[in-house]
Every structure is written in structure tokens, then in C-alpha cells.
A and B are shown apart, each in its own frame.
Chain A
Amino acid sequence: MGLKPIPAAWRQTVCAALRRGSNGARFTEDGRQRWENQFPDAFPYEVVDAFIRFLSAPQALGCPVQMDHPAGETWEFFFPFRDEKLYGKLLLKKSDGKSVIIFSAHRPDRPKLRCE
């Protein structure tokens, strides 16, 4: 096991979706409320920018995630936000191949990712 390089094609498509704002990448209800609770003074574009910065780096590492409803390709990773390490989990949907679901953007519950 161990952290894996997040595939370039996935990163590029996800970043393109994130740049389209909430038309391209949507939070789940739980994910959005958790983000809201942990960062009351932040706006979502800030975490989206942080996702884009992290995923634009070729050396971005993470773990592939098997979901209960495998509707595409999901990766989890740690990424920097305001001098903190946050946990992120994003799905690139298979149904259209270009839209993203933001499941998580919050302080880590565990010190390690699943594949570490």
C-alpha cells in the first residue's frame, strides 16, 4: 500500500470542474455543512482555490476510494488550507465525465489516509 500519485487526467478534469464553480463542482449536504461549521469566516471559493492549487501539482498524492455507490473515480488526500492540513475527498462523476462532487473538506478525523 502507500500513497499513490493522483492521475494527471483525473486532476486536470477535476480542476477544470472546480474552476466552473458550483456549476462544475457541488458539495454534498453533509460535506458543505461540515465545512461551514469549521470555517465560519471562509467562503467556498477559498477551499476550491486550495483544491486547485494542490491538484495542479504533478506530485499530488492521495488514495483511491471505493464508494458504496461507485459513480465514478474518487480520491482522498490531505491538502493545505490557511496553514492547516485538511482532508479532502472528491468524486469525478462517470455519468458525464466532467462534474465533481465534494464529499469532504474538513480537518482530518484520522492522522492517515486509508492507503497509507
Chain B
Amino acid sequence: MVATPAKKGIKLRPFEVTIPTPDGTAVADRIKIDVPMEWDEDIHEWTLTPEAESLIETTKARYMGLLLPEQLRALRERLGLTQKAIGDLFQIGAKSWTRWESGAQRPSRSINLLLRSVYNGWITPQQLGLLCAPQPDWSEQFRRNAAAGQAAEPVVIDYYRARAENAEPGFVEPLHYAVS
């Protein structure tokens, strides 16, 4: 069988990008987009070009609220961090960060929530650094508060608020402390 001339070369063809439900087990939505496919003479079928894969992935990531590789790079540059430093900050290692930034892999949806929070400025790197640091033993405080009929959470919240407010400008020092 010989392909018709109309089928030869690269053509935009429709593709349905599936958007998962939050638990990932089912399709929440289907987004129709046109992507470039190439007619393969050897197999007599349309194949997806690298550009098609990129379009599909970008669409899926956008609808899932995932940060795109260029946004991850922008975040790192905005924070003035190396790939190793930001890998340490999120406790995922430089290798994973490099893969995310290059688009070779994607962060999980749960870590993406954290990434977005920092990207949007809702959590500062200082606050993140504090969470990485050795934590106080709250058990005695909890016991004392319980004996006095008081909740312990406000004490904990005050502690972190004070530390975040007193943190040095920039986050390098608390981060260094956190991961040392």
C-alpha cells in the first residue's frame, strides 16, 4: 500500500489530552488540541513528533497546575540558588531538580504544591529552611499545657513565627543550618 500524498509529511492532527482527577485514578477532563504528527512511510501510520509530545505535556501540566520546567528554572534564578542548593532546600537532591528543570521528569503532584507555594511567595525559603532544621522537643511543653488545660499549638506557632521574623535576611544561613 502506498500512502496518499495528502498523508505525507507533518500535519496537525487532533489529540485528546486527559486531565486526571486529584487521586490520579480517572479522567477528570479531556482537552482537545492539535499537535504535529509525522506520517511514517515504513509503518504506514502517524507518529508523534517531539514537538507534539512537548505540547501535550505542557497542556497536561498547565491543567494539573504543575510548574513547568521554565518556571522551575525561573524560581531557582529568582532565589539566586544553584541546582544543588535548591535541591537541598526541597530535600530532593540536585539530580532530581536538574531533571525537573530540563523537563526530563516531573515533580509529583504533592511536591508540586510545595513548589507552587514558594513560587507564589506564600512560603518563603526562610520558613522552609526552618522546617528542615532540628525541631525542639515539644513533649514537656505539651504536657505542661495539657496539665494547665491549655492548647499547646499556639506556643508552637509563636515559636516559628518568632524564628521566621528574626531570621537573617536571605535564606542561605538558615538553610545551611538546616542541612548541616
Distance in angstroms from B105 CB to nearest chain A CB is 6
A69 in complex: contacting residue of B42, B60, B64, B104, CB < 8 Å: B42
A36 within 8 A of B: yes
B173 within 8 A of A: no
The reply to whether A69 and B37 contact each other, CB–CB distance below 8 Å, is no
Which A residues touch B18, using CB under 8 A?
36-37, 40
Would B42 and A32 count as touching, CB distance under 8 A?
no
Contact present for A71 and B53 (CB under 8 Å): no
Cα(A10)–Cα(B40), bound, Å: 21
The reply to whether B43 and A27 contact each other, CB–CB distance below 8 Å, is no
- Determine the main DSSP class of A at the interface with B: mixed
Tell me whether B104 and A27 are in contact (CB under 8 A).
no
A16 to chain B, nearest CB (A): 16
Contact across chains for B47 and A101 when beta carbons are under 8 A apart: yes
B44-74 interface with A by 8 A CB criterion: 44-50, 53, 56-57, 60, 64
- Nearest Cβ on chain B to A19's Cβ, whole angstroms: 10
**Which of A32, A45, A68, A101 is close to B40, meaning CB atoms less than 8 Å apart?**
A101
In-complex Cβ contact of A22 among B43, B53, B64, B106 (8 A): B53
Complex contacts, A27 vs chain B, CB 8 Å:
47-48, 53
A27-B53, A43-B57, A71-B43 known; 4 other A-B pairs, CB under 8 Å? A28-B46, A32-B15, A36-B18, A91-B43
